[in-house]
Every structure is written in structure tokens, then in C-alpha cells.
Amino acid sequence: MSLSANDLTELMELWEELNLTAADHGNLSRVETLLCSGGAVSHGAFLHVLSVLYVFVFLVGLAANALVVWVNLRRDGPRYETHLYVLNLAAADLCVVATLPVWVTSLLQGGRWPFGDVACKLTHLVFSVNLFGSIFFLACMSVDRYVSVTLLGDSPDNRRRKATRRLMCVLVWLLALAASVPDTYFLQAVKSSHHDGAVCRPVYPHDNPREWMVGVQLSFTVLGFAVPFPVIAVSYALLAAAIPSGSDQERRVSRRIILTYIVVFVACWLPFHAVLLLDTLSLLGALPFSCRLESFLDVALHLTQCFSLLHCCINPVLYSFLNRSYRYDLMKAFIFKYSTKTGLARLLPAEHASETEYSAVATDASVPA
């Protein structure tokens, strides 16, 4: 998955490389006579709107995730059990948004890539690895919270459990790297045949390019949504059912927040993967080729991809800012660190709530970490 901004003329070129001749689609032989690059949507205006949206995601995501990383790194004393996942999640989202200025520069140049072949691969690799990492850490966190509440309760966080979490973080990053390699391997900064300059896009083997493209797109849908979403949904559903008994109001708040975790993930990622699946079906010939379809896929893929990156802005709110322990650390960092003479720091409680309190999401005083 990359944020390339190739217009429909570039898509036509890619279709030609995928050996989509008139034998594959009866109306493809008339592509040259159809004004596929025209339409109701001004391509230049559309790319400028996308650029504004990406800049917004960059600014908000950079500030929010940098704050989460800073607070977690400077925190002293006991840490809640999912602290390591939250830190890695924020670091991954931070790296994702850090690549956006490069993509915006390309967007503002009409999809041209002025940075060369190495930057094409490297920028995409950083973006893709951290995007997969962010998704995988959300899945790991959901499972860890359920296990912590239902099986471990308030038992001490021993060294074996800490070592297990560190190992899981390493495995998540390795899996994210493995998932990103195939698409990154085929990326090249190639000369465009339709306008001056190069574009950063995949160039698949000439003997079976369509199969490679379909495989890459399906792998992203499977690893980015089809597998992690059921894990997240089932884990949080079981966690909601296992919330310790309390007042009806507390249980309602707990389940509402847990439901928010699931809904946000679906809202951010389902539209993009639905459109990506339509694009895959089009490549396979299951959908008849038409300029209208390709225009829709071009616009929809860009918009839903941009919308999916909002999770980089929402994750810090859901998994950090709602956490009382995080707010305590944030307050101490920005207020009480510079107020030692007032004695206000002594008014803060020394202890922190347990992981069960956070994971159960009982009230505002017990929001999951």
C-alpha cells in the first residue's frame, strides 16, 4: 500500500502492462477513443484537496503521537501492563504520518515523483511497515487486555509476562516488515509515457504482472483487515462480557468505550478495503472494464486511503488520552514538574490503578491503557 497519486492515464499504462487486451475486455480496445482522464472531477483540484487532508492528518497525528511517545518514555515508577503496546502503537503511527510530507509533495506535482528510485522504495517501506505495525499492535493489545482481565486478574506483572510482551513486540515488527516487502520490492521510479517526469509505482514481472498485483492487493486486505478485525472484535466482545460486576452505569460506560474501539477500526479501514477488493475484482475480470468504473476506483481509492489514516489521529485519544494514568503523567509532566515549590505534586496519588481497572474500562477513573 502506497500513497502514489497516479492519474487515470497512468492507470491505463498499468493496465497495458498487465496484458489486459481486447481479448480480456471487449471494450478495452476503445480505451484510446474514450476520454478516461476527463470527467466531473478535476484531477488537479482533487489532488489539492487530498493534500490538504493529508496535511491535517500529519499535523494532528504528529503532535498527538509525539506527545504519547514522550510521556511514555519519561514515565518513572510502575507502568500499566499494556504500556509497551501503547508506546509501540504511537511510534508506528508517528512514523506513518512522518512520511506524509513526501507524498504530499508528489501529490502537488500531479503524481510525479522527483525523489528518485531509492526514496520511492524507502519511503514506501517506512510507511507500510509502520502501517501494518499499527494494525497488528491494536490486535495484540485487544488479546492482551482480555487475557489480563479474565485469566490473570490483578496478579503481579512478573518478569515472564514482561518478557512475553517484549517478544510479541519484536514479532509484530518482523511480521510487519515481512508483509511490506513484496509490494516494496516491485516499486520503482519509472519514466511516465504521458507526461514529463517519473512516477513511483509497482513494476511487476512481465510474464504474470496481473497475478502479482492481485496477490499483493489481496495480501494487504487479508493482513490489514480480514485477520486483525476478527481478532479485535472477538477479543473486545469477550472482554465486554467479562467486565467485573459493578453499577449498571459503569458497565454501560465500559461497554460503550469497548464498542468504540471496534467501530473506529471498522470505520477507518472497511471503506478502503471494500474499494480495494472492487479493484482486485476488476483486475480479475469479474467486473467489466469501463472508464466510469476506473474513474470511480481512482477517486475512491485515494479518498478511502486518506480517510483510513485518520486512525493515526484517533488512536492516541482512544488508547492514551482516555487513560487516567496517562492523563496523570501528562499533568505531572506539564504542570507539576514546574510547580515543586507550590507543593502541588504532593497532592497527587502515588499509586496507579491496576491493569484490570484499565482493561475493564469501568468508569472515567478506570479507562483501558
Q: What string of pLDDT tens digits covers the 369 residues of the chain? A: 666 555 444 544 554 455 444 334 444 444 433 445 444 456 778 888 899 999 999 999 999 999 999 888 876 655 556 788 999 999 999 999 999 999 999 988 888 899 999 999 999 999 999 999 999 999 999 999 888 888 765 555 577 888 888 999 999 999 999 999 988 999 998 887 766 788 898 888 888 888 888 999 999 999 999 999 999 999 999 988 887 666 667 777 778 888 999 999 999 999 999 999 999 998 888 888 777 888 888 889 999 999 999 999 999 998 887 777 666 667 766 665 555 444 544 444 444 434 433 443 433 334 444
> C-alpha distances in angstroms, 66 versus 33, 191, 265, 285?
51, 37, 21, 44
Domain assignment present for residue 3? The answer is: no
Domain assignment present for residue 48? The answer is: yes
Domain assignment present for residue 367? The answer is: no
Q: Please say whether the beta carbons of 225 and 254 come within 8 A.
A: no
CB half-sphere exposure, 228, CA atoms < 13 A:
28
Domain assignment present for residue 368? The answer is: no
Residue-range definition of the domain harbouring residue 162: 8-360
The CATH number linked to 178 is 1.20.1070.10
State how many domains the chain has.
1
Domain assignment present for residue 1? The answer is: no
pLDDT at 155: 58
Phi first, then psi: give them for residue 24, nearest 5 degrees.
-80, -40
The residues, any chain, with a CB within 8 Å of residue 255's CB and separated by 6 or more, are 240, 243, 361
The residues, any chain, with a CB within 8 Å of residue 192's CB and separated by 6 or more, are 10, 13, 112, 198, 199
